[in-house]
Structure 1
Amino acid sequence: MQSVQKTLLTLLTLMLSLSASLQANPAISGKITGKVVDENNEPLTGINLRLEGTTFGAASGIDGNYEINNVPAGRYTFVASGVGFETEEKSISITDGETLTIDVILSVANEELQDIIVRSSKVNKFSRERTEYVAKMPIENIENPQVYNTISSELLAEQVVTSFDDALTNAPGVFKLWESTGRGGDGAGYYSLRGFSAQPTMINGLPALTNGSLDPSNIERIEVIKGPSGTLYGSSLISYGGLINVVTKKPYNYFGGEIDYTTGSFGLNRVTADVNTPISSEHEIALRVNTAYHIQNSFQDAGENESFFIAPSLSYTVNDRISFLINTEFQHAEQTNPTMLFLNRSNPLFATNLDELSYNYENSYTSNDLTIKNPTLSFQGQMEYKLSENWTSQTSISRSSAESDGYYTYLWDIADGNGTFARYLSKQQATRLGTDIQQNFTGTFEISGIENTLVAGLDYFEEETIGNSTGYVGFGTITVGEENSGAGISKPAADQALASASVTNSRTEQRVYSAYVSDVINFTPALSVMASLRLDRFDNIGDTSTDDDNYDQTALSPKFGIVFQPIVDKVSLFANYMNGFSNVAPRVQDDGSTKTFAPEQANQWEAGVKTNLLNGRISTTLSYYDITVSDVVRQDPNRANYYVQDGENYSRGFEASVTAAPVDGLNLVAGYSYNDSEVTKTDNANYLGRRPESAGPKNLFNFWASYRVSTGALNGLGVGAGANYIGENKIMNRASTGVFALPSYTIVNASVFYDTDAYRIDFKVDNLTDQEYYKGWSTINPQMPRVIKAGFTYKF
């Protein structure tokens, strides 16, 4: 342990010394350009154009043109002034990497400003061409050999999204496997991603633990990063299929915000507020607070969820070299357990499809008297320091806490052939604590005239789990198809059933020490290569009351990518090799000895094409991937109770995504994915040669289109429509049980909205055709029928 810490400290010292002499990478910023003319369309020279309360500004040249560079994302007051002309202003907003064109027509003094015309290069508002999180450095999507999909806040607003699950239906290849149960340890929702299960564990690229469901009110965008990403993100919290990173809303240096109220079916009432304000006269300190209160009943005979969420965020720009950012999220949620019928995992199934099951999806088999609470806290602090012209240091710390407190129940098929399910009950009392510290250095330099963009970093992650939950006790039975099977379920009855249950007190810990480096080498404007490597030292302390489960493990995780742009900035051909890994505990052999293993490995090969055409109006990604998981520990086929490390399975597939704005006002987003997964080498005959149940459906399709009138009497009026197709899902696929398949289905959604600078009115129908459908992962989980929502947003 001490040697690892000493090595990481030495690496940090070396990088600090090196960075002082290297040259750096500019931060992501936007640009404002335009032309200033008089009433006769003659250019005006020397007009002052500035962003109020900042040092950003420019003067118009002899041809009337001007340019303001390196403008941080945010909202501003744009001011145009000059001798002999009125000083006028207009509120604007700019996003990372965006170019705003602001043309100004001025009249002489004492007359009104004739016009300020604002145009944006970001006509495709559903796309995100640059992010600093996927590669841990700011590079354009078309230059990145890795595939990722972005779900923007603009898209979420158009779709009147009130849940995190609904937001993720916009990402190709993402499918919800399992509801958020709220139970300790893994109570967050599960999603299939390239054939593997994943949970949302990242906020702003840093670990953020949760046992519940995330609230969408503070989401600026969701980044679904595809493929095994162990090189930059490690292994503790992500999947071989990729990871889900939530990017939160950040403060800006202008007062503004909005308040929204949404109501709808099944008692939906949701109030959100987004308020931003500078809190210093020079506007170098800004505070933004997002908050939400949400309550809704189930569509079934019982069930409800209620939550309160608040997220203060503070930014402080000390000077042009150093800045601080603090993000905090707190959520208190309480819900009844969603109805999930657990199929028996060992015995033959009494039903292999929904028709044979004869389940009435309006029956919840629960009571509103039994709820579970999930208080969640996430804190992130970040300091950025510009070391030189071309190098930046970023120091980040995150602290997260996720609790489970209350009653958790589930229904288990007892395999009596009559559709009888036993109800099991536990009183949950569990807490997960996570701490992460990262130090990154990002910059550019040249070697023999070849430009390099590099990130080098250190990462320390610690997770602690404290459990004081009861064991599971029987709490009655139900028969599928029976009515009122929730009768008699109450808190006093539950407490009586739990009176004799034992309480398990546990405390476990694990720590991970990591160092990584990633370099993008630009040989020419058309050809670049990415080479990355991570050293990861895993220290499992396990149960703190014993040393029997302690073990250490070291992993190396490489990544390599190549991008060739036959049409620079418009078309790129890419290929990548990416690695992920999972730490494996030692096993006791039949002779009493303990055998240690190397980390389990996942290796992906992928190739595809990305386009960014018509000045960003059309962005597409097409790719084929092949992921092989190897070094899976299995029982030795030749010796009972001995273990070897040669198990394998694969996941292969094709993905396509498109975001487009072919004409002004029309925005489209669409995606398709096909996945083929199989367990090819295992000691468990249940799974050999079969598709893993965690892989979800083979075929997924998503689509959304909206059109907003931008001129004339109907300016601001818009409509939206979309659909999601989900293929057949084998939720149980084992030799011992047989196959239970949920059928394919299509969900259609539609909306009408009226959007102005001052307010927005929305009317949305989800599941327009009132489709009855289910999701699951060895479970059967009924989903929402038709839902009607109406919302009003006041902007200021």
Structure 2
Amino acid sequence: MKHFSLLMMFALLASGAMAQKNLLKGKITDKNQNPLAFATVILEGTVRGVQSDVNGNYELKDFPKGDYQLKISLLGYEDSVLPFSITEAETKILNIVMTEEPLWLDSFELLSSRGILGQEKLAEVEDFRINAGKKNEVIRIRDIDANLAMNNSRQIFGRTPGISIWENDGSGIQLGVASRGLSPNRSWEFNVRMNGYDITPDPMGYPEAYFTPPMEVVEKIEIIRGASSLQFGPQFGGLMNFVLRKPDQSTRFTVETINTLGNNGLFSTFNYIGGTEGKFSYTAYYQKRVGNGWRENGYFNTDHAHIEVGYAASNRLKLGLEATYMTTESQQPGGLTDQQFAEDSRQSTRERNWFSTPWFVPSLSAEYLVSPKTRLSWKVFGTIAERNSVGFVRQINEEDDLGNRQVDRDYYTTYGSELRLSTDFKFLGLDNSLASGIRYFNGHIDRKQNGVGSNGSEMDFELTSGSEYPRNLDFRNVNYAAFAENVFRFSDKFLLTAGLRLEQIESSNSGQFNVVNGQPQILDPITRTRSFLLAGLGSEFHVTPTTELYSNWSQAYRPVLISDLTPPATTDVIDQNLKDSRGFNFDFGYRGNIGTYLNFDVSYFYLNYADRIGTLTQLNSDGSSFQFRTNLGGSISQGFEGYMEVDPISAIFDKSRFGYLNIFASIAFVDARYGDFATTRLVNGFLQESNLKGNRVENAPRKINRYGATYRYRSFSMTWQLSDIGEAFADASNTLEPNAAATTGLIPAYVVQDLSASFTFMKKYSLKAGVNNLTDERYFTRRAGGYPGPGIMPADGRTFYTTLGLKF
């Protein structure tokens, strides 16, 4: 925290000390002289821009003398462009009167102003990437009535079709989501980023998302399904990018505090500052969240801090610095057997299990405007983090013997850099947009496991005196990548996209596997180096000015992970020709909006996940068995994803003095099944062969339906949501009856409801409240095979929260 405070002080002092070269200011109003707030004001051809404040005033400071074009944009008004000249140290006043424009039906934000749109789509080309022709969603957090203090993913992703969620972490520390029959395990089938850079330990070798930013500071979540692999690399699920709130461009200094109380001892405080002064912009936040959890032995205590400083070094160059820090203290209540869950799902038989993930993510960035149509972006980022656990981790049907606990610790040190170029140009008479880039990533994981810890009950990751970790592994990943994707616009209605990505990955694993009778067992070092090319094609056809057909085919891959290179026993064998899992995603859909009352996106998808990695039981010449890890086969996921949101009041009356009602349905049918996937097992000394072909993929419900309704009247809104999720299997063998340890068996279907409301008054006060799991359903979404289980991981029952916010 000391480093954040010093950095913030430096930014404020530096911005205050800057000598102002000149000043452009004025007021933006409509034709009736009413002030227009939050209009975007930019100097065209530069990186400089601000927003008008609540009184319509704006100020642009400290830019070189010269001739400029001032562009003002605001939803519902025609863009205004004013040429002007300014000299050194001159103060110039330009007042602007905006002209109201006709109601453009493809304006997503206008729909949002009426409450119709809790979900949008990305622009065709934006932020050095191409989104045209791709299945994508934008979740605007500010438009959602939800328990943001607890990062309630069921509500946050409520309008995003096909998102399956593991609801076993009521603390909100970790996010577990997936789509299209993939595993939600810490969202590891998504390429998880924040502000465009990596925040997982290692997307090439250990892509588990242990860090999730507080939703109170997230402006939006961008999701691009598997077609994102060309521009971002793995995984099959696509990209999930958390975009944090940017510095307030309408004021020098903004302060906001959001405080939440709830049952089970919940207390959360979120505090934010931000603003723009001359060439400098800044934001900083701090969140503290503490609670006892819904289950016994479910205590959590988290701290998040973040700072972002931007500096316009010139009219064409903008520099940025970001740093995020998180500490956690989380007690893990462990799993339950089926009998225990039926008796009381709130109970816990593990009171000595603790988990902690200190996380530090720094980033530097630079954006350079080469020309009005060509821009460069450079990001340098890193992760210095840990994953620490201590506890009694045997099967859940074994009673804790109150002896020494097991300690496992991971240390992550990663860094990388991405250089991207975005340009618009004409070729063969066509309007083109090109996005290209190069990437370097270097990841190092130091894994220490099976240590002998204390026999206490507190969070303590120290080993007993004189002991060492029997397992001490060193995993490294180096990745080079280059990509290019282009949009070919054949007309105002039709476009095609085409792209390629070249990957080179080198993975290595070495170290000590175990200690037996005092003798260390050293693994034979394993190194995998491979290069390959990915390709993709997409298209869009605008059926009407506000609706479009879209389609995309893109190859995808999942790199060999650290778990794939780590044998469970020294007798196990890793295939020397082990390959990355390869495959492709295909989408075909129709999306758009009709008037200000209907928004929709319906699509068919097909996901081919080939070369999945698994283990076969094999026999040595002496009759002994060993496990052989190799590429065994693949799976196919296909189905339908549909989203529709309608406002019947706008449809009938256009405008209403009594508020607006929007009703949404987010539905998905997912058929995820194994193809030819060979397996073996040892029965009475003989190998028995079988095949998973036709089995449903584990943790993949066939039905993922969510429905809801939001009523809005002026500054009041209330949302009811129902989630109707189908049954799933916990293992690839599709075992119906649970085993004694509750790690396999059916995961039953469930229905759960949420109710939330918010009210803003006097423009600076806000009050929110809600009930999650309104009817107190008892259900679970996961049977864990290991930590934080093992066993059934119950979802939270009924919880309450109340939030009071203040902004000035």
Fold agreement, TM-score > 0.5: yes
Secondary structure of the residue aligned to 1:576 is: strand
Task: Write the deviation string for residues 359-401 of structure 1: whole angstroms up to 9, x where unpaired.
Answer: 421211122x653222111122221101012100111111122
TM-aligned CA deviation for residue 272 of structure 1:
0.8
Task: Write the deviation string for residues 111-170 of structure 1: whole angstroms up to 9, x where unpaired.
Answer: xx9x9999996233345646479976466x7xx221122221213455555225343444
Q: How does 1:331-480 map to 2 (within 5 A)?
A: 331-341=326-336, 354=338, 358-367=342-351, 370-412=353-395, 425-471=405-451
When structure 1 is superposed on structure 2, of 68-77 and 247-256 the one drifting more is 68-77
Q: Is the 8 A contact 2:452 2:463 kept in 1?
A: no
Alignment partner of 1:509 out of 466, 472, 476: 476
* Structure 1 equivalent of residue 11 of structure 2: none
* Structure 2 equivalent of residue 574 of structure 1: 550
Q: Is the 8 A contact 2:39 2:73 kept in 1?
A: no
Matched residues in 1 for 2:148 and 2:752: separation? Answer: 16
TM-aligned CA deviation for residue 683 of structure 1:
2.0
* Structure 2 equivalent of residue 260 of structure 1: 258
Q: Is the 8 A contact 1:262 1:791 kept in 2?
A: yes
* Structure 1 equivalent of residue 705 of structure 2: 701
Q: How does 1:95-114 map to 2 (within 5 A)?
A: 99=75, 101=77
Secondary structure of the residue aligned to 1:303 is: coil
Matched residues in 2 for 1:688 and 1:377: separation? Answer: 42
The change in CA–CA distance for 1:180 and 1:437 in structure 2 (over 3 A counts) is farther
Q: How does 1:324-335 map to 2 (within 5 A)?
A: 324-335=319-330
Q: Is the 8 A contact 1:632 1:647 kept in 2?
A: yes
Letter in 2 for 1:759: Y
TM-aligned CA deviation for residue 751 of structure 1:
2.6
Percent of aligned pairs sharing the same letter: 17
Q: Is the 8 A contact 1:337 1:409 kept in 2?
A: no
Gaps of 5+ in 1: 1-31, 40-47, 58-67, 82-95, 105-112, 344-353, 476-487, 711-715
Q: Is the 8 A contact 2:128 2:377 kept in 1?
A: no
Matched residues in 2 for 1:195 and 1:509: separation? Answer: 29
TM-aligned CA deviation for residue 320 of structure 1:
3.0
Q: Is the 8 A contact 1:261 1:272 kept in 2?
A: yes
Matched residues in 2 for 1:595 and 1:75: separation? Answer: 61
The change in CA–CA distance for 1:647 and 1:472 in structure 2 (over 3 A counts) is farther
Secondary structure of the residue aligned to 1:572 is: strand
Q: How does 1:623-702 map to 2 (within 5 A)?
A: 623-632=603-612, 647-660=633-646, 663=650, 665-684=660-679, 688-689=692-693, 691-692=695-696, 694-702=698-706
Letter in 2 for 1:390: K
* Structure 2 equivalent of residue 479 of structure 1: none
* Structure 1 equivalent of residue 310 of structure 2: 315
The change in CA–CA distance for 1:377 and 1:670 in structure 2 (over 3 A counts) is farther
TM-aligned CA deviation for residue 619 of structure 1:
2.6
Secondary structure of the residue aligned to 1:36 is: coil
The change in CA–CA distance for 1:214 and 1:56 in structure 2 (over 3 A counts) is closer
The question of 1:196 aligning with 2:176 is answered no
The change in CA–CA distance for 1:270 and 1:75 in structure 2 (over 3 A counts) is farther
Matched residues in 2 for 1:578 and 1:422: separation? Answer: 52
Alignment partner of 1:273 out of 261, 271, 274: 271
* Structure 1 equivalent of residue 538 of structure 2: 561
Gaps of 5+ in 2: 1-26, 59-71, 81-94, 201-208, 513-522, 621-625, 651-658, 681-689, 739-744, 785-790
Letter in 2 for 1:162: M
Q: Is the 8 A contact 2:162 2:179 kept in 1?
A: yes
TM-aligned CA deviation for residue 333 of structure 1:
1.1
* Structure 1 equivalent of residue 65 of structure 2: none
Secondary structure of the residue aligned to 1:76 is: coil
Task: Write the deviation string for residues 604-644 of structure 1: whole angstroms up to 9, x where unpaired.
Answer: 222111113315x5332111111112234678999999888
Matched residues in 2 for 1:741 and 1:509: separation? Answer: 37
Q: Is the 8 A contact 2:133 2:540 kept in 1?
A: yes
TM-aligned CA deviation for residue 764 of structure 1:
0.8
Matched residues in 2 for 1:498 and 1:211: separation? Answer: 30
Q: Is the 8 A contact 2:227 2:552 kept in 1?
A: no
Letter in 1 for 2:471: T
* Structure 1 equivalent of residue 765 of structure 2: 759
Q: Is the 8 A contact 2:645 2:663 kept in 1?
A: yes
TM-aligned CA deviation for residue 308 of structure 1:
1.0
The question of 1:768 aligning with 2:735 is answered no
Question: What TM-score, normalized by structure 2, do the two folds share?
Answer: 0.74
Task: Write the deviation string for residues 278-330 of structure 1: whole angstroms up to 9, x where unpaired.
Answer: 3x4xx221111122110111222322001111111112223331112222211
Letter in 1 for 2:178: S
Matched residues in 1 for 2:460 and 2:510: separation? Answer: 33
Count of aligned residue pairs for this structure pair? 674
Letter in 1 for 2:494: L
TM-aligned CA deviation for residue 222 of structure 1:
1.4
TM-aligned CA deviation for residue 37 of structure 1:
4.1
The change in CA–CA distance for 1:261 and 1:688 in structure 2 (over 3 A counts) is same
* Structure 1 equivalent of residue 655 of structure 2: none
Q: Is the 8 A contact 1:332 1:376 kept in 2?
A: yes
The change in CA–CA distance for 1:436 and 1:501 in structure 2 (over 3 A counts) is closer
TM-aligned CA deviation for residue 580 of structure 1:
0.8
Q: Is the 8 A contact 1:35 1:103 kept in 2?
A: no
Matched residues in 2 for 1:251 and 1:293: separation? Answer: 21
Task: Write the deviation string for residues 81-123 of structure 1: whole angstroms up to 9, x where unpaired.
Answer: 9xxxxxxxxxxxxxx996254999xxxxxxxx9x999999623
Secondary structure of the residue aligned to 1:682 is: strand
Alignment partner of 1:743 out of 716, 740, 748: 748
The change in CA–CA distance for 1:564 and 1:170 in structure 2 (over 3 A counts) is closer
Q: How does 1:592-631 map to 2 (within 5 A)?
A: 595-596=576-577, 598-614=579-595, 617-631=597-611
Alignment partner of 1:583 out of 544, 559, 576: 559
The change in CA–CA distance for 1:158 and 1:553 in structure 2 (over 3 A counts) is same
TM-aligned CA deviation for residue 549 of structure 1:
0.6
Letter in 2 for 1:697: P
TM-aligned CA deviation for residue 71 of structure 1:
9.0
* Structure 2 equivalent of residue 124 of structure 1: 111
TM-aligned CA deviation for residue 702 of structure 1:
1.9
Question: What TM-score, normalized by structure 1, do the two folds share?
Answer: 0.75
Matched residues in 1 for 2:800 and 2:547: separation? Answer: 41
Letter in 2 for 1:124: L
Q: How does 1:211-222 map to 2 (within 5 A)?
A: 211-222=210-221
The question of 1:175 aligning with 2:164 is answered yes
TM-aligned CA deviation for residue 678 of structure 1:
1.1
Matched residues in 2 for 1:52 and 1:709: separation? Answer: 24
* Structure 2 equivalent of residue 149 of structure 1: 137
Q: Is the 8 A contact 2:674 2:697 kept in 1?
A: no
The change in CA–CA distance for 1:447 and 1:785 in structure 2 (over 3 A counts) is same
Letter in 1 for 2:197: L
Matched residues in 2 for 1:390 and 1:447: separation? Answer: 14
Secondary structure of the residue aligned to 1:524 is: coil
* Structure 1 equivalent of residue 61 of structure 2: none
Letter in 1 for 2:279: E
Letter in 1 for 2:427: I
* Structure 1 equivalent of residue 801 of structure 2: 789
